[in-house]
Amino acid sequence: MSMKLLKKIMQDGKVIEYNQFQEIVSGALDDYDLLLEAFDRVEDGHIIIEKGTGTIVLANRTIAKLLPRQSLFCSQGRNVLDGIKDSDIRNWFSKVISGEESLSDRDFSFGEGEIKTIRFSFFPFMLSDREYMDIRLRDISAELKKEMKLRSTETLASMTTMAAGVAHEIKNPLAAMKIYTSLLRKAIKSGKNLDKAEEFIDIIEQETERLNDIAVDFLFAVKPMDVRLKMDSLNDTVLELSDFVAVEAASKNIRIDLHLEKFLPNLMIDRKLMRRALLNLVNNSFYAMKDGGVLMLATACDGNYVKLTVEDNGVGMSEELQKRVFEPYYTTKNEKGTGLGLTAVLKIVNAHSGEISLDSKEGVGTKFTIKLPIPTSERKVLAGTGRED
């Protein structure tokens, strides 16, 4: 309050008694000391610097608690770069001062044994027509440990669910193999029904193949993927997949409509994995259109992303199913699916830094939309042609 009053008196040029002026100045200094004390007590470290020069205007004592002494030394009036010995931090500060740094947050780790991670952030502001930067330092070590623990718990829960799913999935083929092995043994011993022996063997082979599919799908779901990204055409991938399923679609009385944007930018994709994800979505649509229908495959630009849409006019999904459709081993296909198809799709999309969404209505159909980021180089090309939007 005294600080504002002092500022107003100086602006107005009003003449006041010396004793009154002394009282106002004393109050303003007390306010300043109070603010400094509060500034020093906050949990986050703060360094106020002049933008462009890097001169330190103010720094709180928390900085010394957060950082090792050899990494950063803050002294009012000197250039912040003079006191930084850590080359990575110094480089970050240089970019912030010059305005070249585009990311507002950057994490740095320190120490041996128990690692401390500090998040550096910057916030520009104006005061009296001068530009400043508030550099904030926050210890996020505890947050990261909590996140890691939570991820471990989620991973364990997911593995438990998947293990239970595998145990459930292998029961049916094992039971069928046991039954037909017993029938085959009886036929051989008795010499009767030998004409059915080949049928029994075929069934056993089918169930063996099903067990192999369950194992392959499980390993794909739990193992890290070997993702080999390179600049490639998403349209070509869609066309390739469309040709591959054309015969099956015709046999099911399903028409495939393609709506592919002509000038689609290339993307960083793994064509093999993207083709697998698309095939899984197409197979789901085929299953939902048992009496035939229309499957639409479309691509389009959407800002800094490319949208890939797989839409059918099949039976659709209930709200409950939509909530659980990406869960491992959740399936409505009875004996014909392992319940890992859409889980694999989600994993592949995530590996491409993309997003997938679902829109479905019972009796109307289902639409899956995958959004994949456009590389910076391709964005510049789009901007140059005026087609970015």
Residues of the chain with CATH 3.30.450.20: 2-143
Q: What is the pLDDT of residue 372?
A: 94
Tens of pLDDT, residue by residue over 47-70, are 898 988 889 888 888 888 887 655
Residue 212 has pLDDT above 60, yes or no: yes
Interval 335-363 mean pLDDT: 82
82 pLDDT band (50/70/90 cuts)? confident
Residues of the chain with CATH 1.10.287: 146-222
Residue 237 CA to its chain's centroid (Å): 23
Reference 307, options 322, 319, 318, 296; nearest CA is: 296
Q: What is the pLDDT of residue 104?
A: 75
> CATH: 3.40.50, 2.30.30, 1.10.1740, 1.10.287. Which one for 146-222?
1.10.287
3-state secondary structure of 121: strand
Residue 17 burial (CB < 10 Å; 0-12/13-18/19+)?
A: exposed
272 pLDDT band (50/70/90 cuts)? very high
Q: What letter would DSSP give residue 165?
A: H
Q: What is the pLDDT of residue 188?
A: 86
Residue 256 has pLDDT above 90, yes or no: yes
Q: What is the pLDDT of residue 368?
A: 94
Q: Are 76 and 60 in contact (CB under 8 A)?
A: no
Q: What is the pLDDT of residue 142?
A: 87
Interval 83-99 mean pLDDT: 85
pTM above 0.75, yes or no: no
In this structure, of 74-78, 117-121, 308-312, 377-381, the range with the lowest mean pLDDT score is 377-381
Residues of the chain with CATH 3.30.565.10: 230-385
Residue 224 burial (CB < 10 Å; 0-12/13-18/19+)?
A: exposed
Number of alpha carbons in the 13 Å side-chain half-sphere of residue 41: 6
Interval 348-368 mean pLDDT: 92
Q: Are 67 and 75 in contact (CB under 8 A)?
A: no
Residue 152 amino acid letter: S
279 pLDDT band (50/70/90 cuts)? very high
Q: Where are the alpha helices (DSSP H) in the chain?
A: 2-12, 18-41, 62-66, 87-98, 141-190, 197-222, 234-251, 271-288, 319-324, 341-351, 376-385
In this structure, of 79-93, 344-358, 369-383, the range with the lowest mean pLDDT score is 369-383
Interval 84-109 mean pLDDT: 84
Q: Looking at per-residue confidence, does 159 or 85 come out higher?
A: 85
CATH number of 2-143: 3.30.450.20
Number of alpha carbons in the 13 Å side-chain half-sphere of residue 277: 31
The domain over range 230-385 is classified in CATH as 3.30.565.10:
yes
Q: Where are the alpha helices (DSSP H) in 113-233?
A: 141-190, 197-222
Interval 138-156 mean pLDDT: 81
Q: Are strands 254-260 and 293-302 parallel, antiparallel or unpaired?
A: parallel
